[in-house]
Structure 1
Amino acid sequence: MILTTETASPARAQAQSSKRSGWRILRLLGPGLVTGAADDDPSGIATYSQAGAQFGFGLLWTVFLTTPFMIAIQLVSARIGRVTGKGLAANVMEVAPRWIVLGLVCLLVGANTVNIAADIAAMGEALSLVIGGLNHEHALIFAATSTLLQVFVPYRRYSPVLKFLTLALFAYVATAFTVKIPWSTALLAAVWPKATVNADYFLMVVAVLGTTISPYLFFWQASQEVEEMNQGKVDRPLRELRRDSHLDLERIRIDTSVGMGLSNVIAFFIILTTATVLHTHGATNISSATQAAEALRPLAGNFTFVLFALGIIGTGMLAIPVLAGSAAYGVSEVFGWRATLEAKPDEATGFYTIIAAATVIGFGLGFTGIDAIHMLVWSAVLNGIVAVPIMVMMMVIVSNTKLMGRFRAQSWLIGLGWIGTALMALAVLALLGSFVVGSST
């Protein structure tokens, strides 16, 4: 009996240690995890579904291409927020005239509002597909719920809700395992893609890049680091502290890497599933997330369809507050309004007004008859126009010793950030060029 106790004790201690380590890792995850998950919103799901349906496994490699640059630019965003204690718009005004920043923020608000419209519409349609009912009524429920949670639930209680909603992403991992995937073929295509040189293929590469690296993510994560700072034991920017702050930067690195990595893993599984089912069966014309879900039903069965549709709803409930919130942070910082989800409604009226207005207008756009795919196209154009100058300014800020102090970014991060900025600029030029060519033919 004594021998059993002695031999069991180390095992029990090891299990308890592993459990504590697991909880420590979970506590490290926050702004980066939520930001990465919000990137896979219904609009992003539509893009990845279209990529898989139209080109099969031929675009799986794009997920690996974008991952390091996505991690780098979001690390820059998070670092700026935590080191300076201010959101992105407030920091950009340090290196650019206020009127330029205001113009970029207005474009951000426009892009986010259109994106919210597409996401709310997709969520309403997805719920109608699963349980029946009317699309607009379902959309109203989602829009109202999201707005009320942001306005009346303080950040310290709302943040865990957002983290919990990231679990919705795993519906797309589960979906992939409900169909028979030719893993050897898929993985070979991911690491050794066949060259396909045509305009449609190139534009889809541009669309995936633009979906993965979006300006609303920059504004959101920087501001969430400020929110976390204000909730912490030391509620001051890192550059004002004399103590060693490597633990804060390590937390940001882990959180951001996990969040962006998860985002792209989910993108991989969405492309994988739609390539396996839709492309293989010749269903290559997919323009929305709900259309992809509906197309899966007769080909892969009801269970796969329901998982895919519920994933749209879960990711939408996560993405709408990120889209509306990032717009509100940007506008509030430009005008000097109080910008925090911790405040009561009467303490940050302007901030909450932007959140409510963006969501309400987004919901209202669903009644205009504008096709969801057109809203996504215009959102992509506006996002592209905003993303490149903001990324340039972010790189200038994070490289500036005067603004960042001893927390100026390392050379590897600066290098990756500038390469990601250059890739995004090329993507935007290609996107704009496609519109010019399309309008002239």
Structure 2
Amino acid sequence: MSQLVLPQWLSAGRLRRLAATLGPGLVVMLADTDAGSVLTAAQSGAQWGYRLLLLQFLIIPLLFIVQELTVRLALSTGKGYSELILQRFGRCWAQLSCAALVASCFGALLTEMSGLAGVGQLYGVPVWQSVALVAGLILLMVCSGSYRAVERVAMLFGVAELAFLYMAWQARPDLQHIRQQALDMPLHDASYLYLLAANLGSSVMPWTVFYQQSALIDKGLDLRDLRAARLDTMLGAVLCQLVTAAVLIAAAAVFAGHGGVVLDTVPELADAFGRVLGPLAGRLLFALALSGGALVATIVVCLSAAWALGEMRGTRHSLEQHPLQAPWFYGAFALLLLAAALTVVFSHSLVRLSIATAVLNAVLLPLVLGFLFWLARSELPAGLRLQGRYAVAVGILFLLTGGLGLYAGVTGALHG
């Protein structure tokens, strides 16, 4: 019997290296489909039907381009995003970038914790108990594991988000309505612009850029892993936006004929999705899917802030180090997590908080994309540097995206 011979590009060694490389891109994109993204997409579908659906697919190439540049920077320089900004632009700009990141991270954590507390309320669990349990488990996991262990747990949580794809299918969306509304974009309407900005800001976020760059370094990858890391990023970007689109489709189908619906709480959303699969199954699937994204995002957001703050201090840190070896790193992680937990315990959970946080991210897009563009132009080696026609195309895309996010966010906030 003849022996099966694999092509060179599909050799056992390459497959093992590919499997070892996959992770940072998928994790950061699963975190991107967090509680804020889910609540924003649900509100978009409930209020505007399918009029923001096309945007979800247009965001896929933008997401990939942004995160792929962080892959190049990480694997070629071995330095984190904050470290490169500090090196290239100086302490003042690095502090501004870090402040924007921390603001974005804290807003995201409030959203994640509020979403998880809302899920607990569905089953009669008091807010403080839900928040304390989540904070305690995440601290225990991070302090007792390595990066790879944390990554595996995060991916396990993220798998629950696939439930949204099933819910969209079961919602039986009307294809004629999708065709009619998908290209109908009322850009003159301030409330539409506000949600457009929120959808942009819940997809391209400062902490996704910081996280993936630092995660690749912490995982010990190098330029030999570039192709696999790009594939990892592309898979993550597609999956992220498919899940977000599924949430919007399900919400639009549920609220068809009830335009202008404003959702305020997680239980309201759960009840709405319960109409698709029945009260018990609908609530359970929604709770699992929302919790999965929120848990992944909580881990990613805290790590992003801790890594960035450490880079600002010139402190090298890693999840491979024991907490006693890197007290500042683990302390920053715990402080941010606990501050968000306490804030949620003593405040109310609203969908509007998630949307406002996403709009803040959209307003920050010019800063985030501007730094990323110039770092890719100046800090990469010749073979990987952003240059030529691709650089022009990326520059135009970043300029249009940043301008749209800033305009839509400010206009929607002022006139909505």
TM-score (norm. length: structure 1)? 0.85
Whole-angstrom distance in 2 between the partners of 1:18 and 1:125: 46
Task: Tell which deviates more after alignment, 273-282 or 100-109.
Answer: 273-282
Which of 276, 291, 304 is residue 253 of structure 2 equivalent to? Answer: 276
Which of 126, 130, 139 is residue 134 of structure 1 equivalent to? Answer: 126
What are the superposed Cα offsets for residues 45-81 of structure 1, whole Å, 9 maximum, x if unpaired? 0000001111111211001221111110111112111
What are the superposed Cα offsets for residues 97-144 of structure 1, whole Å, 9 maximum, x if unpaired? 212211321232122112212211211211331x32212211211122
Residue 82 of structure 2 corresponds to residue 89 of structure 1 = yes
Counterpart of 1:301?
278
Counterpart of 1:398?
376
Counterpart of 2:191?
200
Which of 411, 427, 430 is residue 408 of structure 2 equivalent to? Answer: 430
Whichever of the two has the greater Rg, that structure is 1
Whole-angstrom distance in 1 between the partners of 2:235 and 2:46: 27
Whole-angstrom distance in 2 between the partners of 1:279 and 1:141: 37
Q: 1:361–1:417: structure 2 CA closer, same or farther, 3 Å change rule?
A: farther
What are the superposed Cα offsets for residues 236-273 of structure 1, whole Å, 9 maximum, x if unpaired? x54xxxxxx4xx22112211111011100111111111
Whole-angstrom distance in 1 between the partners of 2:111 and 2:217: 29
RMSD: 2.7
Residue 236 of structure 2 corresponds to residue 251 of structure 1 = no
Residue 138 of structure 2 corresponds to residue 146 of structure 1 = yes
Shift of 1:403: 4.4
Shift of 1:391: 1.6
Whole-angstrom distance in 1 between the partners of 2:152 and 2:180: 38
Letter in 1 for 2:184: K
Whole-angstrom distance in 1 between the partners of 2:219 and 2:389: 26
Shift of 1:299: 5.6
What runs of 5+ residues in structure 1 fail to find an aligned partner? 1-5, 239-244
Letter in 2 for 1:162: A
| 3-state SS in 2 of match to 1:343 | coil
**Aligned 8 A contact 2:50 2:252 in 1:** yes
Letter in 2 for 1:269: A
| 3-state SS in 2 of match to 1:406 | coil
Alignment of 1:115-264 (within 5 A): 115-129=108-122, 131-183=123-175, 185-186=177-178, 188-189=179-180, 193-196=183-186, 197-229=188-220, 238=223, 245=224, 248-264=225-241
Q: 1:381–1:52: structure 2 CA closer, same or farther, 3 Å change rule?
A: closer
Letter in 1 for 2:290: I
Whole-angstrom distance in 2 between the partners of 1:157 and 1:307: 26
Q: 1:313–1:160: structure 2 CA closer, same or farther, 3 Å change rule?
A: same
Q: 1:154–1:183: structure 2 CA closer, same or farther, 3 Å change rule?
A: same
Whole-angstrom distance in 1 between the partners of 2:260 and 2:132: 31
Shift of 1:357: 0.8
Which of 37, 42, 46 is residue 44 of structure 1 equivalent to? Answer: 37
Residue 333 of structure 2 corresponds to residue 343 of structure 1 = no
Whole-angstrom distance in 1 between the partners of 2:138 and 2:319: 13
Question: Paired residues, what number?
Answer: 410
Q: 1:412–1:301: structure 2 CA closer, same or farther, 3 Å change rule?
A: farther
Q: 1:201–1:46: structure 2 CA closer, same or farther, 3 Å change rule?
A: same
Counterpart of 1:30?
23
Residue 352 of structure 2 corresponds to residue 369 of structure 1 = no
Counterpart of 1:3?
none
Whole-angstrom distance in 1 between the partners of 2:143 and 2:272: 37
Whole-angstrom distance in 2 between the partners of 1:299 and 1:399: 49
Whole-angstrom distance in 1 between the partners of 2:263 and 2:331: 35
Whole-angstrom distance in 2 between the partners of 1:270 and 1:413: 33
What are the superposed Cα offsets for residues 354-404 of structure 1, whole Å, 9 maximum, x if unpaired? 11111101101113325534533553354345432232111111112x543
